[in-house]
Structure 1
Amino acid sequence: MSNASLVIANWKMNGNRALTREMSEILRDNQADFKGVKVVVCPPYTLLADMAGHIYYDEIALGAQNVSQHENGAHTGEISVAMLQELGVEYILLGHSERRAEQQESNDSIAAKAAAVTQAGLTAVVCVGEDKSQREADKTWSVIQAQLEQSLAGLSAKQMARVVVAYEPIWAIGTGETASPAQAQEVHAKIRGWLVENYQQVGARVPLLYGGSVKANNAESLFSEADIDGGLIGGASLKGEEFSAICRAAKG
Structure 2
Amino acid sequence: MPQRHLIAANWKMNGLKAALPVAEAIADIARNHTSEVVIFPPATLLAPMQKVLEGSPVKLGGQDCHYMDGGAYTGDISAAQLKDAGASMVILGHSERRHGHLEPCELVARKVRTALRAGLTPIICIGETLDQRKAGKTVDILTKQLKDSLPDELEGQEFHVSYEPVWAIGTGMIASDAQICEAIALVRTWLDNRFPAATPKLLYGGSVKPSNAAHVLKLSGVGGALVGGASLTVDEFAPIIAAGD
TM range (shorter): over 0.9
Q: CA deviation at 1:3?
A: 6.5
Computed over aligned residues only, the root mean square deviation of the Cα atoms, in angstroms, reads: 1.4
**Paired residues, what number?**
244
Question: Which of 1 and 2 has higher RCO (CA within 8 Å, sep 6+)?
Answer: 1
Aligned to 1:185: 181
Match of 1:124 among 94, 119, 122: 122
Aligned to 1:154: 152
Q: Secondary structure at the match of 2:172?
A: coil
Identify unmatched segments of 5+ residues in structure 1. none
Q: CA deviation at 1:156?
A: 4.2
Where has structure 1 moved over 2 Å in runs of 4 or more?
Answer: 153-156
Opposite residue 14 of structure 2, the aligned amino acid is N
Aligned to 2:56: 58
Which has the larger displacement, 128-137 or 48-57?
Answer: 48-57
Opposite residue 207 of structure 1, the aligned amino acid is K
Opposite residue 186 of structure 1, the aligned amino acid is E
Rounded Cα–Cα distance in structure 1 between residues aligned with 2:23 and 2:97: 27
Rounded Cα–Cα distance in structure 2 between residues aligned with 1:81 and 1:216: 32
Rounded Cα–Cα distance in structure 2 between residues aligned with 1:142 and 1:4: 30
Rounded Cα–Cα distance in structure 2 between residues aligned with 1:64 and 1:42: 5
Aligned to 1:212: 206
2:31–2:57 CA contact under 8 A, matched in 1: no
Alignment TM-score, normalising by the size of structure 2:
0.95
| Correspondence 1:238 to 2:232 | yes
Match of 1:98 among 89, 96, 115: 96
Aligned to 2:32: 33
Q: Secondary structure at the match of 1:39?
A: strand
| Correspondence 1:248 to 2:238 | no
Match of 2:112 among 95, 111, 114: 114
2:92–2:123 CA contact under 8 A, matched in 1: yes
1:84–1:97 Cα change, 3 Å: same
Rounded Cα–Cα distance in structure 1 between residues aligned with 2:72 and 2:23: 35
Rounded Cα–Cα distance in structure 1 between residues aligned with 2:230 and 2:224: 14
Rounded Cα–Cα distance in structure 2 between residues aligned with 1:78 and 1:222: 34
Alignment TM-score, normalising by the size of structure 1:
0.93
